[in-house]
Amino acid sequence: MDSSLSSNQGSLTSASETSSSAFLLERGIRYTQQGCYAEGVIYFARARERLSPDQMHFAVVLDAFIQSYARYLQAQQALHMASKRFVEADAEQQTQLVALEKLLPALKEDTDRVPQPHTIAKAPKVSWGYQSPQSLQLPSTDPTIEQPSLLPHSLLKDGDALPALYFTCFGHFEVKRLGESVSLCQNRNGQVVLRYLVTQPGYRATMDMLMAVLWPEDEPEVARHKVQVATSALRRSLNHGYAPDPGGGYILCKNGVYELNPAVSLRSDVDEFLLLYQTGRQSGGDEAAILYERACQLYTGPFLVEDLYADWSFPRREQLGQYFLIMCSALAEHYLGIGRYEDTAKWASAILKENRCDEEAHRQLMRAYTARGRRSEALRQYQRCEQALLHELGVAPMPETVSLFETILVCKQNPHLEKENSSFAKRK
């Protein structure tokens, strides 16, 4: 991954051409018009980095396209899944239709034999989906619980479409609507339910999942009641200022499944982070560096720090944290290779802020300091590395780190080795 950051530099347009934001914008438009959206996003990101302060109105449009591309990928995946479900449902309908056609002759014979009454039987009430007697629940008498609607959401009269929601999950959790922060319910359980839904595929979870994950020690009826009260409070706070029917709006519940309304546009900083990471992996050179930097800027802290000790949030937090460190390491190595030592120090230090025992980051800092003539600082960095490893892991630095330290020490004591010192600073 580290080597890929420099492998494609030779195939790029000349530096004088690529320095033009207009050229990059034109190239991005051309790729996009050809259906190559991922490549187009890369060039748009590069164009944005080269805009001058008085061209920031272009940045707004470029950011809007990049964000819309994330929504495009989500919509494409949803369309694929919907098409698959439609094919399956259509096949099931055809099978049932064939079965009915086979029963029709027998039904006609029975009709001819049985005299028909002159009264018309009262039509049964329409039911939106079958429920077994065991699954039917009487409406709660608790006034704090808002009862879910029995109608499909597509038939509810909610008026205008609900505005999109944007979720910030890194550093601290926040919900924004139309650029303004949404005041969530005071019910902490309701906030936890929302954060849990945001982490789930399709933004949905069953009643049983919520009960098992959030209140595993409670009796089933107690846990069920907590879910109902929490989601009711959450629904009211999200719907505040709008007038959807009871049970509608941003939180839907049907057949024991709670979900964020799929008709609403939902985005998060995690979605953008992952999109930039995946696109960067498919790129190289400066393109990857630009994308990685934008992704790392979104990482303002660990994922969902409000649920730092919750088992359900741990795997996702660890995964995102690893992606962040991978990108920081690639950036530090890339900038070290092209002689941008301040940027090398910036991203190596970002790694050490998360993990003080990352020896590769310590070595990157030592090389960067040495290349800038700050050999004393490079030696002190080795001492920090040695102390961190001893204190936290009880081990000594690896031979590679010790060898780098000894080389820097020799160069410091022998100034005539300055030329050799500057060349080894870029080695891995």
Query: What was the pLDDT predicted at 360?
Result: 95
1 DSSP assignment: -
Instruction: Please report, for the chain, the start and end positions of each structural domain, with discontinuous segments joined by +.
Output: 17-79, 153-267, 339-428
What class, spelled out in words, does domain 339-428 have in CATH?
mainly alpha
Q: What percent of the chain has pLDDT over 90?
A: 45
Query: Encoding tokens for residue 163?
Result: 């505005």
Q: What confidence tier does 267 reach under pLDDT thresholds 50, 70, 90? A: very high
SS (H, E, C) 212-242: HHHCCCCCHHHHHHHHHHHHHHHHHHHHCCC
Residue whose entry in the numeric block shows the structure tokens 């820097």: 408
**Strand order through the sheet with 180-181:** 180-181, 174-177, 165-168, 266-268
The answer to whether residue 12 scores a pLDDT higher than 70 is no
350 and 296 in contact (C-beta within 8 Å)?
Answer: yes
Q: What confidence tier does 144 reach under pLDDT thresholds 50, 70, 90? A: very low
The answer to whether residue 9 scores a pLDDT higher than 80 is no
Q: What confidence tier does 103 reach under pLDDT thresholds 50, 70, 90? A: low
160/243 Cα distance (integer angstroms): 10
Average pLDDT, whole number, for the chain? 77
The answer to whether residue 160 scores a pLDDT higher than 60 is no
Q: What confidence tier does 63 reach under pLDDT thresholds 50, 70, 90? A: confident
The answer to whether residue 142 scores a pLDDT higher than 60 is no
Query: What was the pLDDT predicted at 94?
Result: 62
Q: What's the whole-number mean pLDDT along residues 60-81?
A: 68
The answer to whether residue 112 scores a pLDDT higher than 80 is no
Q: What confidence tier does 357 reach under pLDDT thresholds 50, 70, 90? A: very high
Helix 207-214 and helix 188-199, axial crossing angle in degrees, nearest 10: 110
pLDDT per residue as tens digits for the range 326-351:
999 999 999 999 999 999 999 999 99
Q: What confidence tier does 77 reach under pLDDT thresholds 50, 70, 90? A: low
Burial pattern 380-407, b for ≥16 Cβ within 10 A else e, equals: ebbeebbebbeeeeeeebeeebeebbeb
Where is average pLDDT lowest: 82-91, 187-196, 306-315?
Answer: 82-91
- The answer as to CATH 1.10.10.10 being correct for domain 153-267 is yes
Where is average pLDDT lowest: 17-21, 265-269, 318-322?
Answer: 17-21
Query: Encoding tokens for residue 99?
Result: 């079965």
pLDDT per residue as tens digits for the range 372-382:
989 999 999 99
Q: What's the whole-model pTM score?
A: 0.61
395/268 Cα distance (integer angstroms): 40
